[in-house]
Chains A and B, each alone.
Chain A
């Protein structure tokens, strides 16, 4: 069975640009969460979506937004990129709220110059 897939794998942007990252969850999973992992740190929670609705939001600025589609795939958008947004962006899928086990994709490595 396919695991969580993310695209693109790598991305280079310049300050001020916008980026869209994509995630497809494990088949049968209806919840998608996004995390940011800066080098040398643990992942930090950004968003969780379930049934196309936002169910949780971490301590990130409004430049970060996300959405979930009817097929449960998801997009993470980041506007007005800053150098500090350079990180590995991870998508995790789970069956739904209250089902705590989350499975991660390989991540998208974003470099902002």
Chain B
């Protein structure tokens, strides 16, 4: 079983829709949760960073973490064609010696004009 599970999609929505992306995880030591956006053939770009449980909002993006359910979400409001990309969830545990990110396999999103 993978430590982080993410539905690979693909997900196709019309412009202006609200998009919901989700990941589940099994390692209860994870405390730091991130969402990255990756355009085709590019490196991942950090979108959102959350520590422990709760919500965080940044413009059209909202990240939610529910540690009790081991479930994280990213919501995109008023989606735009430029949001078309692969969205990767990532998480890490606090380690005194270093930190490694564990990723989901990514959800491919297409926003149609």
Contacts and interface: CB of A to CB of B under 8 A. Distances in A.
A105 B97 contact: no
B100 A42 contact: no
Interface in B18-48: 32, 34, 36, 41-46
The bracket for how many chain B residues form the interface is 20 to 34
A56 interface: yes
Contacts, number: 77
Contact of A109 (B41, B46, B94, B103): B41
Contacts of B90: 42
Interface stretch (A11-19, A65-73, A78-86, A93-101): A93-101
A56 B100 contact: yes
A42 B6 contact: yes
A40 interface: yes
A100 B98 CA distance: 9
B105 A106 contact: no
Contacts of A105: 43
Interface in B66-113: 88, 90, 92, 94-106
Contacts of A101: 34, 46, 49
Interface in A10-58: 31, 33, 35, 40-45, 48, 50, 55-56, 58
Contacts of A90: 43-44
Contact of A97 (B6, B34, B96, B106): B96
A104 B36 contact: yes
Given A90-B44, A100-B94, 7 more contacts: A31-B98, A43-B103, A48-B100, A56-B95, A97-B96, A97-B99, A102-B99
Interface of B: 4, 6, 8, 32, 34, 36, 41-46, 49, 51, 88, 90, 92, 94-106
Interface of A: 4, 31, 33, 35, 40-45, 48, 50, 55-56, 58, 88, 90, 92, 94, 97-107, 109
4 nearest A-B residue pairs (beta carbon): A55-B98, A42-B103, A104-B43, A100-B32
16 contacts: A4-B43, A42-B6, A42-B88, A45-B101, A48-B98, A48-B100, A55-B97, A56-B100, A92-B101, A94-B99, A97-B96, A97-B97, A100-B92, A101-B34, A102-B46, A104-B46
